[in-house]
Structure formats: structure tokens, C-alpha cells
Copies of this chain bind each other. A is one copy, B any other.
Amino acid sequence: MPRRPPAVVLAPDSFKGSLSAAAAAAALAEGLRRVWPDADLRLCPMADGGEGTLDAVLSRGGRRSTDRVSDVSGKPLTVAYGSIGEPATAVLEVAQVVGLTDPAVATIDVEHRTTLGVGELMRHRLDAGVRRFMIGLGGSSTNDGGAGLLAALGLSLTDARGQAIAPPPAGLATLAAVDASGLDPRLADAEIIVMSDVNNPLTGDRGATAIFGPQKGASRERIAEIDRRIANFASLAERALNRRAQDEPGAGAAGGLGFALQLIGGKMRSGAEVVADLVGLDAALDGAGWAITGEGRSDAQTALGKTPLIVALRAAAQQIPVSLISGSIDRSALPALGRYFAGCFSLPSGPAKLEQCLAQAAELLADRAEQVARLFDIARR
């Protein structure tokens, strides 16, 4: 006897290189509708604070706006941000301003990329009366210790002769003094939630430059020197604000934006946890019979705290089984993933090249969701 279809929560992360989280959720829904045309499907596109965070958050409501700020090289750039709730919380995505996947960024040396525009975006929101921020740090191309952001918010950075230094991080080479007296006083009333899944400190062997510098283009020979300059800036800034932050977990996130934002009172949180709250994942799970999450590629890192794991933990708290459908799954991670997921499935329907899978991702995801739902349906009869 067929039972009523379960209510299903569809909470994928984006599939990097092929599908936004919203497109992935829609593809899952399409596949499930082939099996259960009238099922209660609850689409909760997810993100981890990186690229796609703004889209995921706004998929559940709020308003998307644009602003003009400086790009990594100081040129004007139009960026999107979100406003949710009342009084408004600004949802900012660092990747919108200084994103690593922006092709223009590749032409600028990492030592000349600044986070000035991120600070401008915050300042403009303060001007508009906003006092609550949710800032996603993932996917940044910068490694300036957050000096650009703090400069945009009024921190004064000067050289030995009292002259303002060149835009960081290159200018940090001659940094001699930091003065916080001009720091935007409205920040004292602001609540700043920082979304990140990076726990590294600002400097040293596990710091931003050593660990993330190379993938942003820092050459091996320059790492020690860049790290030294950032350490000098951080110590001066900490003294000026009479607060410590460089050894806090996550200070090394987004090339030191994690440090700068914590220095002005920001609280670090797991990006996926914040997004889960913003999209109302717990409410969506309430009364559901099954959840499906996924991402472009799942491996051992997934089981250590990536977005699908957050979905799995939230679902487990309500005793709801969660399955994982990802573009590909590292087989060696299956035992670890098996602790959290009731079935891990991948997209290819046979031997296939990566480009093929990326190009067909939506169709493959709908197909896989359909097949998984068929099995789920028959098993519960």
C-alpha cells in the first residue's frame, strides 16, 4: 500500500563550477516530483559563508541591493549585498568585492590586493543606519590582514614620517604607527557576525599567508616577508584598539579579514550554521521525513564540518534521515560520511569526464534524486 510521500527538505550547498545552491535544490525537486508529484518539498539552498552565500540567504526572503565600492586594486566596482529583517541586517559576501574567481583579480599581484572595498561597503551600510552585519568571508583573493577594511573604517596607518602609507598590503612594508582615534564610532553599536569555516590564526606556520597565500598567488619566497608585515600591522592595530585578536581561531580567514573583523568586535561563526539559521533550516526540518543535501565534491573534509555536515547534524537533532548527493564522492571518505548520511550518491551515470558531468549537472542531479526517491519510496511500503 503506497504511503503518503514524506515531506522532504532539499538543502544542498552549491555545486562549484556548475550549479548554484538554488539551482541544485531545484534540480533535486524536479527529480523528486517525478516520483511524488504532490510531495511537500522544502527548498533550503545552503552556503558556507563563501561565494553563493548571498544568493542562498536571499532565496528565503530579504532584498538584494547594489553599492559602488573599490575593487581589489582600488577601481570602482558595483557589488551586491542583501538586507534581511527589520531593523535591517546587512548580509555581505566578501567574495562579491574581492572574490578569487573574479577573472580581473588574477591580473593584480596578491601583494597589491586590498580589502578597502569591503570596509567601504560596511561604512555605507552604517551610513544607512544599519547596525547588524552578517559577513561571509569565503572565497577572498586578498591577504592584507584586513588592513584595507580597517583603513576604510577610519583606522589611520602611517609611516615613520607620519605620512599615510600606500594601500595595504604593499604599504604595510613602511607601516610605523596605527591610530584608532578616527575609527568609525558607530562600530561600537554594531553587531558583526562573521561567517567562516576557517580556524587558522592570523600569522605563523598555520597563518593566513603560509596556508592560503600560495593559492592566492603569493610566491614561496615572499611568504615570510608578507607574514612579518602583517604581524607588525596586527600588533600595532591591537595596541591602538587595546584588544587582541590575531591568535583567535579564524583570525587567518580571508587573508586576515577574520582578524580585522574580530578586532572591531565581530564574532566568528560557522558559515553554514549561520546560513542554516538564516534560511530557516530547523523550521523546514520540522515534521519532515527525509532530507537531501549535497555539494560539488564530498571528501573527508565534508565530515569535518562542511555544509552537508551541518545539514546532517541539524536533521539528526530532529531524528530525520539525510542522504547526500554530490557531484563526486571520495570513496575513502565513505566510512566517515556513513556516520552522518543515510546513503551517499554521486552524479555520473557511467564513466564520464569532469566537463561532461559539470555540463549536465542539473539533469544528472534530477535523475539521481529521482532514483534515490524511487528506492526510498519502495523501501517504506
* Chain A interface residues toward B at CB < 8 A: 290, 297, 321, 323, 327-331, 334, 338, 341-354, 356-357, 363-364, 367, 370-372, 374-381
Contact = CB atoms under 8 A, between A and B. Distances in A.
A346 B350 contact: yes
Shortest beta-carbon contacts, A-B, top 3? A328-B350, A343-B375, A342-B378
B345 A348 contact: no
Contacts of A330: 349-350
A357 B351 CA distance: 7
21 contacts: A290-B379, A321-B379, A327-B350, A328-B349, A328-B351, A330-B350, A331-B367, A338-B370, A342-B375, A342-B377, A343-B371, A343-B378, A344-B371, A344-B374, A348-B351, A350-B357, A372-B375, A375-B375, A375-B379, A376-B379, A380-B380
Given A348-B351, A350-B297, A380-B380, A374 B328 contact: no
A344 B34 CA distance: 14
Given A375-B375, A375-B379, A346 B343 contact: no
Nearest to A323: B375
A371 B364 CA distance: 18
Contacts of A375: 323, 342-343, 372, 375-376, 379
Contacts of A364: 331
B321 A378 contact: yes
Nearest to A329: B349
Nearest to A351: B354
B351 A350 contact: no
A334 B370 CA distance: 10
Contacts of A323: 375
Contacts of A297: 350
B374 A338 contact: yes
Contacts of A376: 375, 379
Contact of A345 (B331, B345, B381): B345
Contacts of A348: 346, 348, 350-352
Scoring A329, A354, A363, A379 by chain B CB atoms within 10 A of each residue's CB, the highest score goes to: A379
Given A347-B350, A351-B353, A380-B380, 6 more contacts: A321-B379, A331-B367, A334-B370, A346-B349, A351-B356, A379-B380
Contacts of A349: 328-331, 346
A361 B92 CA distance: 46
A351 to B, nearest CB: 4
Contacts of A379: 290, 321, 342, 375-377, 379-380
Contacts of A371: 334, 343-345
Nearest to A375: B343
A30 to B, nearest CB: 13
A343 B321 contact: no
Contacts of A346: 348-350
A376 B358 CA distance: 28
